[in-house]
Copies of this chain bind each other. A is one copy, B any other.
């Protein structure tokens, strides 16, 4: 989820779209004119942003009006800071990694799992 959002943000065209939508909601052809790039290019990037949840869209006739999900964006930034400060044991996805951390405490590198580190 962090991954999807950061990946969506890690591209210059999409960052620009995000910033423009922070000013006001815009339809695809607005973005096309403001950014001076092709319509399919806008559409394709919007697809990524919508998939990540960062952009919402509303249909108005033939136009699709896009708006920035500022709440998600701000929450993500806050929650990622919390995630970084969270103890490893509270992150189920990293249970395996957590169980292997004690093995390297203050030790030199030359030790293989199963020798001086037993996982039970």
Given contacts A78-B77, A81-B77, A84-B22, A109 and B3 within 8 Å (CB-CB) = no
Q: Determine the distance from Cα of A55 to Cα of B101 in the docked complex, in whole angstroms.
A: 19
Closest chain B CB from A8 CB (angstroms): 8
Given contacts A22-B84, A85-B22, A94-B19, A9 and B12 within 8 Å (CB-CB) = no
A97: contacting residue among B35, B73, B77, B112, CB under 8 A = B35
By a CB distance below 8 angstroms, the chain B residues around A68 are 84
Contact B84 A34 (CB under 8 A): no
Closest to A34 in B: B100
Closest 3 CB pairs of A and B: A7-B10, A6-B10, A6-B9
